[in-house]
Amino acid sequence: MVRVRYVDADILIIGGGMAGSGAAWEARYWCRNCRVVIAEKANINRSGAVAMGLSAINTYMGLKCKENTVEDYVKYVRGDLMGIVREDLVYDYARHVDSTVHLFDEWGLPIWPNPQTGCYVREGKWQIMIHGESYKAIVAEAARKAVGEENVFNRVMVTHLLKSPSNPNRVVGAIGFNVNDGTVYVFRAKATIVSAGGGSHVYRPRSQGEGLGRAWYPPWSSASSYGLMIEAGAVMTMMEARFVVPRFKDGYGPVGAYQLLLKTKITNAYGQDFWKPHYEEIKKLYSGKGNYPDLPITPTTLRVYAQRLEWMAGRGPSLMRTEETVKKGTESEAIAYEDFLDMTISQVVIWAGQNHEPAERPYEVITTEPYVMGSHATECGAWASGPDDLAPKKIEGLPDDRGYQYYWGYNRMTTLDGLFCAGDGCGANPHKFSSGSFTEGRLAAKSAVLFIMDHSDEKIEVDKAQVDSIITKLMEPLERYERGKYTVVTGPSYMHPIDPTKMYWKQGLFRLQKIMDEYAGGWSTMYVTNEWMLNRALELLQFLKEDFINYAAAQDWHELMRVWELWHRILTAEAVVRHMLFRKETRWPGYYVRADYPALDDENWHVFVNSRYDAKTGKWELWKVPVIHIIPFP
Amino acid sequence: MPSYVIPAKCTGCGDCVNICPSHIMRFTKSGLFGRKAYNAEPEMCWECYNCVKHCPQGAVQIRGYQDFTPMGGAVEVYRDEKTNRVYWTIRYRNGTIKYFVFPIRTTPWGSIKPPTEYPEPPKELLRTPYLSCEHEQLGGNKLGVELPRYKVPEVVKVEVRG
């Protein structure tokens, strides 16, 4: 017997992280009589990627102090992604991001002030320092106050989007369930904003035991933004650009404050520079029209690649030379430790266990397993309409299909009517980080308000049969567990019971991670793949998809959440592999290398790769969309 | 173990269960001593320390992931919303102790002015690029400058290769 609650909203926000909180704030600001509802899988006070805290805000222009221009920022971001970004979207969030940061300041986020300039202490050209232990809690307070406590649905995981019965291109809400008590929620909404985070645990993490959860991006980032939108048939973009980050070994502690603020060098194991020995080779293969290896800030992906070449030459690992910049008992030591204590406490736990003194010895830096994200130094996500004044209104020579154009009236609206995206969910505009994600949430929400005003006479219809069939599907893993519960007996295990009729979430997750790691450029192959491997991955993913549909089982509500997280990850993984297969070049060698096409090919691949999935047939279509440079490109 | 609960100190208040972003802090079945919280899925723990910070009894602690953390060290935390400080104690395996204190917030908890307390924005500004607090008519301009603009051609012609 399933308990079902219907919730009617003007605007539904899926995921109350940084982007969702920004959306909540802005939606209420523009629409005083709207009901804005947040569905949050965890507790909004500490959810999303910033749940632990953060030690810096990576995106702040400093316009009022004339520290930077928005154009320069777009050039930087474009360069970092090897030429391929939606410049309209990047310019758009960048011009607004300062007002977000100033709001945070006013709300009580301790940003390090710079008394000389009246602005903030710069960590780097684009970054500022914060005492960010309570960052998310502060931002959540603003979101809760904006929509009202009664409209924050904590512990409700959204699993499927709802489509209008009369218009398959119109999203009218979503279905989810409470992970504590199993109540099913049917949200009917005039506009829906997906800000459900990026994806960790799509690839095999480096630690497989107790440390499985110590991924760099949190384990609760279940790729739900992508899973939800892919299944609904929204056009996705740049899913191949899943990326890896260089981090302190095992704890995945951040390197920003060390490198930028303390000016700490990374060398190979012998104290030598890792970049110079590979510069010529990298220039030969990855220069392209953008002259990327010579940019003022070397692209993340090329720096990562040079380090990897050092390791493969046997001169690894990379070492962060903390002994040169951290001094015991001084400000520099407090900065070094706070960097971890704000956002990756595990790294300090490791150092305490290993008696490691950063002032005395260097520490290893490695690259993580790949993550699927749209807010960090990469750009996976939904293909969205640009803003009125920055996106080219029409691109001649291409079909009118939204999946080829840059503009269809509502900023940050996906190719489906009434469905907006923000944060990790919105593709082709990277480097948003926390402040930019919040800003993008604001942009999406304002645009959603405009959308519902323009469509005020539209009736939101939900088809009962469609709802019932989704609920049946949603609950099936629980029922499957009940069936034949006592026929199989195996001992208690860190895995789950062995049962020829059931696949538990962790068993499926390990299968997924093994496929992705070994065939689609994970760490065990040093991030190398090729056409054969990717095709093999697709074949094995197909089995996994079928097994999920026929065998997924859950013992309780919590496991049901894990099961649906797995489904979102599987769909995302498939998108990633299909995109990697489609792009016949190596554009971001630090993130992955297509060994059969090991160089950058600007002639044919200076383009976005877009895709659409048809859930009914299981078929994908992929195509190229040219990059329009609104800011002159070399 | 990520995080673990010391049963003797746990009163079963549920603050850690409520806050855990991974949904892995749960209650034991109630017994003679009432219910106790425990970490039911350590392998999905991010060591984000929210359970530790939110426990009013100091009953939750962290033992570093066994995969790569030698035993005997510890990181302890006390977070105080009255003084808005977070106090860290780091105990090394060899006995070294480090203390750090950082601010967590510059304003009292609950003090944020909701968006509805700003004057209602004029509807025609919905079709402009301004967001809240970026224009005189939108609760003042917190950007500190006029919103940057860039001229983009309305129509672009392209050819696709390949």
CB contact under 8 A, A350 and B68: yes
Check if the beta carbon of residue A3 is closer than 8 Å to that of residue A185.
no
Per-residue pLDDT averaged across A269-285, rounded? 97
Position A444 confidence tier, pLDDT thresholds 50, 70, 90: very high
A521 backbone φψ class: left, alpha, beta (φ>0; ψ -120 to 50): left
* pLDDT of the residue at A498: 86
- Tell me which chain B residues have a C-beta less than 8 angstroms from the C-beta of A131: 102-104
A30–B121 C-beta distance less than 8 A: yes
Percent of chain A with pLDDT over 70: 99
Average pLDDT over residues A284-294: 96
Size of interface A-B (CB pairs under 8 A): 295
A354 contact residues in B (CB cutoff 8 A): 69-70, 73, 93
**Neighbour tally for B92: CB within 10 Å:** 18
Q: State the nearest Cα–Cα gap between A248 and chain B, in angstroms.
A: 13
Q: Is residue A339 among the annotated active site residues? A: yes
- Asked if B142 lies within 8 A of A102 by C-beta distance, the reply is yes
Dig out the tokens for A358 from the structure.
Answer: 């950063």
Pairing, β A394-396 against β B155-157: parallel
- pLDDT at residue A541, rounded to an integer: 98
Residue B162 predicted with pLDDT over 70:
no
**Average confidence (pLDDT) over B120-144:** 97
Chain B environment of A387 (Cβ under 8 Å): 129
Which of A138, A210, A630 comes nearest B42 by C-beta? A210
Cβ–Cβ of B48/A52 closer than 8 Å?
A: yes
CB contact under 8 A, B69 and A350: yes
Q: How confident is the model at residue A491 (pLDDT cuts 50, 70, 90)?
A: low
Query: B30: pLDDT confidence band, cut at 50, 70 and 90?
Result: confident
What is the average pLDDT score of chain A? Answer: 96
Is A275 one of the catalytic residues?
A: no
Q: Do B44 and A210 touch (CB under 8 A)?
A: no
pLDDT of B33 over the 90 cut: no
Nearest Cα residue in chain B from A449: B126
Q: Would you place residue A183 in the very low, low, confident or very high pLDDT band (cuts 50, 70, 90)?
A: very high
Residue B91 pairs with which residues in a beta bridge? B74, B97
State the angle between helix axes of A557-582 and A464-482 in degrees (0 to 180), rounded to the nearest 10. 110
Q: Which of A493, A577, A496, A489 lies closest to A534, judged by CA? A: A577
Structure-derived torsion over alpha carbons of residues A49, A50, A51, A54, reported in degrees to the nearest 10: 140
**pLDDT reading at A488 higher than 80:** no
What mean pLDDT do residues B7-25 have?
97
Give the per-residue pLDDT at A118: 86
CA distance A199 to chain B (A): 14
Q: Using a CB-CB distance cutoff of 8 angstroms, which residues of chain A are in contact with residue B48? A: 46, 51-52, 218, 345
How close is the nearest chain A Cα to the Cα of B44, in Å? Answer: 4
Residue ranges of alpha helices (H) inside chain B are 15-19, 50-54
Does residue A408 carry a catalytic annotation? no
Question: Are the Cβ atoms of B22 and A349 closer than 8 angstroms?
Answer: no
Distances (CA, A) of A289 to A168, A284, B106: 41, 12, 47
- Nearest by CB to residue B152, choosing from A52, A341, A390, is A390
Which of A218-222, A306-310, A318-322, A489-493 bottoms out in mean pLDDT, i.e. has the lowest? A489-493
Q: Which chain B residue lies closest to A393 (C-alpha atoms)?
A: B154
At B159 the pLDDT is 75
At A484, the pLDDT band (50, 70, 90 cuts) reads confident
Nearest to A350 among B40, B64, B86 (CB): B64
Q: What single-letter amino acid sits at A247?
A: R
SS3 A122: strand
Average pLDDT, chain B: 95
Confidence grade of residue A565 (pLDDT, cut at 50, 70, 90): very high
